[in-house]
Amino acid sequence: MVKTTWIGDVQNGQHTDQTVELKGWVKRSRGNNNIWFVVLRDSTGTIQCVGKKKNLGDEMFETLKGAIIETSVVFTGHVRADERAEGGHELDIVDVEIVGAVNSERPFPIGEADMLVEDEDGELTYGGTEHTLNHRHLYLRTTRATTMLKLRSSAFGAIHNYFRGHDFLEYQAPNFVAGAVEGGSTLFEVPYFGKKAYLTQSWQLYAEAAMPALERLYTIAPSFRAEKSRTRRHLTEFWHAEMEMAWATNNDIMAHGEGVVRTIAKTLLEEREQELTYLERDLDLIARYADNPYPRMRYDEAIEILQGKGVAVEWGQDLDYSKEKILTQDFDVPHFLTHYPKVAKPFYHRVDPEDENYVLCHDLLAPEGYGEIIGGGERTWSEEEILQRIDEEGTPREPYQFYIDVRSYGGVPHGGFGLGVDRVVSWLAGATHIREVIPFPRTSRRVTP
């Protein structure tokens, strides 16, 4: 039963002029009464397989013709290099076995055209339709979805490799929590044995508790936010790569943020060139993201630039997406925005000792209109300051007592960041919507399938 031959290897020329057994699914078929072509798909690629009636006999030829789209089959045949076939190789079928038949009264419900939608300019582009979202479990096997999942896998691997290569320890925080990191209105409340609990919005507070133990730690975990956002960059459940680091300044943390994002871009180029090409991504552009340093700009400079462009923005406002978008138009690599006004950020951001109106924080903005992919900075680390900041914001102390305790026993300067993995993949893949890069997207309007 073990599968030994992969279509990708066949197309690489590893089995040319050999007899092999190919296991996979029918992607497309066509032909006439004497010759039948099946494009066979597996996780590694596609190959055209050819069956001739004179070789197979009437019965097996009819079996082959009956293998409609997404039938699972085992083909035994002879591999031949052939310029006429896409990919350069072809299988001459000598034996056909149907493993899982498809009922022709209920054919595979997703065709190539189902994934294409018209954008505002009338151009055909890929996007989720209600139909493909309702059939997400079947949509996953389409070429585009499979390609996105491969990019995603490489991105996750790159993040693990980066942090482990820099002596970070992987650490897990609970997903049921009692308090909030961001504003309380975006928490998912869950019943918890007669009490209330919430789904975590971030690993950060619990990571800070382990910071004095592990000093350099990271995770890749889901975060949950009950935001009714209807945008192409929001999910209610998203994958959050977070790091926390003792004895670190804002600049140290930014260096790692830049490092991990560049590593993801580099890894995709190394492992997924074929997939990026399929998505019509400009490889030179991805190489720039991998190789060039990411500029840094203070919040005040950003405000000046925006005001210079005639954008109505006042000092003290957080920068929303429309303003980020205007800023990123002048950049061809991601860039950091640092030193936001204290009034725009929550209590855990450390106030800049050189100017108490600002906090030592950073956001990393991706180009091409994809917006914020990292938020991070130094944490308020002394007991005195954290109490002051919590009270200033009118936040109750009680749920954060453990967080305060961490500072009461040997607090040290530290900080970290959170990176939206789905957002990074969406940006590097050039996806039309963040839901393209996660298998079963959760949004304010959808928890099924």
Contacts with RNA in 80-139 (CB under 7 A)?
Answer: 82, 84-86, 90, 92, 104-105, 107-109, 111-114, 116-118, 120, 127-131, 133
User: The tokens of 240 are what?
Assistant: 């959050």
Q: Of 11, 142, 236, 250, which lies in the binding site for RNA, with binding defined by CB under 7 A?
A: 236
Q: Of 8, 31, 341, 413, which lies in the binding site for RNA, with binding defined by CB under 7 A?
A: 31
Site string for RNA, 303-342 (x = CB under 7 A): --------------xx-xxxxxx-----------------
Residue 64: CA count within 13 A, CB half-sphere: 31
Identify the DSSP state of 443: B
Instruction: Provide DSSP, 28-51.
Output: EEEE-SSEEEEEEEETTEEEEEEE
Nearer to RNA, 154 or 426 (CB): 426
Q: Of 371, 411, 415, 416, which lies in the binding site for RNA, with binding defined by CB under 7 A?
A: 371
Question: How far is Cα 278 from Cα 300, in angstroms, rounded to an integer?
Answer: 41
Question: How far is Cα 254 from Cα 420, in angstroms, rounded to an integer?
Answer: 15
Neighbour-count burial of 322, counting CB atoms closer than 10 A to its CB (0-12 exposed, 13-18 middle, 19+ buried)? exposed
Nearer to RNA, 181 or 386 (CB): 181
Interaction of residue 445 with RNA, rule CB under 7 A:
yes
Q: Of 240, 262, 389, 414, which lies in the binding site for RNA, with binding defined by CB under 7 A?
A: 240
Question: How far is Cα 220 from Cα 421, in angstroms, rounded to an integer?
Answer: 8
Interacting stretch for RNA, rule CB under 7 A, among 142-150, 161-169, 225-233, 270-278?
A: 225-233
Site string for RNA, 400-419 (x = CB under 7 A): ------------------xx
Q: What Cα–Cα distance (Å) separates residue 78 from each residue in 39, 91, 137, 417?
A: 15, 5, 33, 53
* Own/partner long-range contacts of 326-332 (Cβ < 8 Å, ≥24 apart): 327/302, 327/365, 328/365, 328/366, 328/367, 328/368, 328/369, 328/371, 330/305, 331/295, 331/365, 331/367, 332/285, 332/288, 332/367
Nearer to RNA, 112 or 405 (CB): 112
Q: Of 207, 374, 390, 429, which lies in the binding site for RNA, with binding defined by CB under 7 A?
A: 374
Q: Residues 44, 49, 55, 56: is their CA dihedral positive or negative?
A: positive
Nearer to RNA, 88 or 212 (CB): 88
| # residues near RNA by CB under 7 A | 81
CB of 370 to RNA, least distance (A): 9
Nearer to RNA, 124 or 213 (CB): 124
CA dihedral 375, 315, 229, 369 (to 10 degrees): -70
CB of 2 to RNA, least distance (A): 29
Instruction: Provide DSSP, 298-341.
Output: EHHHHHHHHHHTT----TTPPP-HHHHHHHHTT-SS-EEEE--B
Site string for RNA, 173-212 (x = CB under 7 A): ---------xx--x---------------x----------
CB of 26 to RNA, least distance (A): 9
Nearer to RNA, 192 or 369 (CB): 369
User: Contacts with RNA in 273-292 (CB under 7 A)?
Assistant: none
User: Contacts with RNA in 251-270 (CB under 7 A)?
Assistant: none
Q: Of 5, 12, 43, 66, which lies in the binding site for RNA, with binding defined by CB under 7 A?
A: 66
The β-bridge partners of 21 are: 76
Interaction of residue 422 with RNA, rule CB under 7 A:
yes
